[in-house]
């Protein structure tokens, strides 16, 4: 029966080339847009969830901003509820680049981090001791793609590289570890990590670090299990008011810990080391995706019901030949599935060709394989199947709403008229 319905669907497409072509074009465009928007939304919904136990990470922040001073960070050592913490900052140089041999390389996003960075953010190392990588002021951690960009396929551990920046000058580093490339839903999105301790060589920076008002650091904390956030906030604020000068405590007012998992959508501070987005934007894109799917589905159904008489005759003939209502429904569903399948294959090919343009327009860095991975892992492929099944049932219901009767005319074989009664 399956083969019969499949052949019937193929015959229908061949006999209705223009209508089928319009349907395939419309659905292909709909699926291309849906694949892009669906992958984007699925990725956005999982931002920051690539790290194990990300729910246990919190950002230390004051009332007037996310960044805190080093003097404020030191207060964490006296809070017993704190398991570990790290502080980091962007490299905010106007111009910066790597030098290896005679070649220069754009560094991508550079972060300076304290030595316990990888205890708070447990990224997976490919080579090197990741837990000790930032203990030395001369160590540097690269992502896999950055390491291959500079050193090719050779083992980069222990190899020297110079980092030049207009803000801090020239520094010589040795590669201490290489980590896997960050997934698309990572919130830090860096290409290399430099040790904060290397900046102690810069006198003005080292002096500024001892000033309460020099708030340059994003600080992330891991709390011990069972810790009360509210009680810890109160302890931090009490310690801060006791230690900080009056003018600074009046400005900052209080300290608090904000869950890392909530920072992507609810971050009021645009100057941040973390990627961020507006929840309103995400909802708007989700509504747009649903509208496009709805429009594409309605257009598909309208075009499929365009040739009413031919479909009515086919149903009447099938009914007279003893076909059940279920069999007729399956005929329409198979036709829909075949059109949807062809459209989806074309859409995937178009996505492979146009994803660089999507990245350029959206500011993302998807690869074709990452889009397919998201589409499969998030079960978005169920949407085209649902469209095919729903459209097939609606079309079948539309054409079987009345009863069809075959009336012989003049008893001449092969001549018949079809009447429909409601």
328 Cβ contact partners less than 8 Å away, ≥ 6 residues apart = 315, 318, 319, 396, 400
Closest to 305 (Cα-Cα) out of 412, 393, 410: 393
What are 87's strand-pairing partners? 219
Of the candidate ranges 166-170, 242-246, 329-333, 351-355, the one whose mean pLDDT is the lowest: 329-333
pLDDT one-digit tens code per residue, 76-91: 999 999 999 999 998 8
pLDDT one-digit tens code per residue, 384-403: 888 888 877 777 676 655 44
* Distance from the first to the final alpha carbon of the chain: 30
> Which residue in the block uniquely carries the two structure tokens 């090197």?
128
- Under a CB-based contact definition with an 8 Å cutoff, are residues 98 and 162 in contact? yes
pLDDT at 405 (0 to 100): 41
pLDDT one-digit tens code per residue, 172-191: 999 999 999 998 888 898 99
pLDDT at 403 (0 to 100): 41
| Prediction pTM value | 0.76
pLDDT one-digit tens code per residue, 294-305: 898 888 888 777
pLDDT at 111 (0 to 100): 94
Which tokens sit at 404?
A: 């069809």
Return the beta strands (E) in 340-414 as ranges: 403-408
**248 has pLDDT over 90:** no
β-strands 103-105, 125-128 pairing? unpaired
- Tell me if residue 143 falls in helix, strand or coil: strand
Angle at 206 between CA 258 and CA 114, to 5 degrees: 40
> Which residue in the block uniquely carries the two structure tokens 């669907």?
9
- Under a CB-based contact definition with an 8 Å cutoff, are residues 190 and 143 in contact? yes
Closest to 182 (Cα-Cα) out of 301, 50, 28: 50
User: Region 378-387: what's the mean pLDDT?
Assistant: 86
286 Cβ contact partners less than 8 Å away, ≥ 6 residues apart = 41
DSSP run (H or E) holding 420: strand 416-421
**408 has pLDDT over 70:** no
pLDDT at 416 (0 to 100): 46
pLDDT one-digit tens code per residue, 16-66: 778 788 888 999 999 999 999 998 998 888 888 888 778 889 999 887 667
b vs e for 347-386, b when ≥16 Cβ sit within 10 Å of the residue's Cβ? bbeebeeebeebeeeeebebeeebbbebbeebebeebbee
Closest to 216 (Cα-Cα) out of 62, 75, 70: 70
Compute how many other C-beta atoms are within 10 angstroms of the C-beta atom of residue 267: 18
For 380: left if phi > 0, alpha if psi spans -120 to 50, otherwise beta; the answer is: alpha
pLDDT at 380 (0 to 100): 85
Distance CA 236, CA 254 (A): 8
Return the beta strands (E) in 80-223 as ranges: 82-90, 96-100, 103-105, 110-113, 125-128, 139-143, 160-165, 169-179, 192-195, 218-223
Which tokens sit at 5?
A: 């319905």
Average of per-residue pLDDT values in the chain? 83
Largest Cα–Cα separation, the chain: 107
Closest to 85 (Cα-Cα) out of 111, 110, 109, 60: 60
């Amino acid at each position: 029966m399956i083969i019969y319905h499949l052949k019937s669907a193929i015959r229908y497409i061949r006999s209705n080339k223009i209508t089928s072509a319009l349907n395939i074009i419309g659905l292909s465009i709909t699926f291309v847009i849906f694949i892009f928007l669906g992958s984007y939304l699925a990725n956005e919904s999982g931002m920051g969830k690539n790290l194990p136990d990300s729910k246990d990470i919190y950002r230390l922040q004051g009332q007037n901003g996310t960044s805190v001073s080093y003097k404020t960070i030191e207060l964490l050592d006296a809070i017993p509820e704190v398991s570990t913490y790290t502080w980091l900052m962007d490299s905010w140089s106007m111009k910066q680049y790597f030098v290896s041999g005679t070649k220069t390389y754009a560094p991508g996003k550079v972060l300076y981090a304290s030595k316990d960075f990888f205890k708070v953010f447990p990224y997976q190392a490919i080579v090197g001791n990741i837990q000790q990588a930032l203990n030395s002021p001369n160590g540097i951690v690269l992502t896999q793609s950055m390491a291959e960009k500079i050193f090719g396929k050779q083992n980069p551990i222990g190899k020297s590289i110079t980092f030049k920046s207009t803000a801090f000058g020239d520094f010589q580093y040795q590669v201490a570890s290489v980590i896997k490339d960050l997934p698309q839903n990572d919130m830090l999105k860096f290409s290399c990590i430099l040790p904060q301790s290397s900046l102690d060589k810069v006198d003005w920076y080292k002096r500024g670090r001892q000033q309460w008002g020099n708030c340059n650091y994003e600080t992330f904390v891991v709390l011990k299990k069972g810790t009360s956030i509210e009680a810890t906030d109160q302890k931090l604020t009490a310690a801060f008011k006791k230690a900080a000068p009056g003018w600074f405590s009046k400005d900052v007012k209080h300290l608090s810990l904000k869950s890392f998992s909530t920072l992507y959508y609810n971050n009021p501070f645009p100057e941040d080391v973390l990627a961020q987005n507006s929840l309103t934007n995400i909802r708007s894109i989700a509504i747009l995706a649903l509208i496009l799917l709805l429009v594409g589905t309605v257009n598909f159904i309208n075009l499929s019901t365009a040739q009413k008489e031919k479909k009515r005759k086919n149903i009447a003939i099938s009914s007279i030949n003893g076909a059940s209502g279920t069999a007729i429904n399956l005929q329409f569903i198979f036709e829909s599935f075949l059109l949807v399948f062809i459209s989806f294959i074309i859409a995937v090919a178009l996505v492979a060709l146009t994803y660089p343009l999507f990245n350029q327009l959206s500011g993302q860095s998807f690869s074709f394989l990452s889009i397919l991975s998201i589409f499969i892992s998030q079960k978005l492929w169920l949407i085209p199947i649902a469209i095919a099944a729903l459209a097939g049932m609606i079309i079948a219901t539309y054409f079987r709403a009345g009863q069809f009767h075959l009336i012989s005319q003049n008893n001449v074989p092969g001549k018949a008229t079809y009447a429909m009664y409601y």
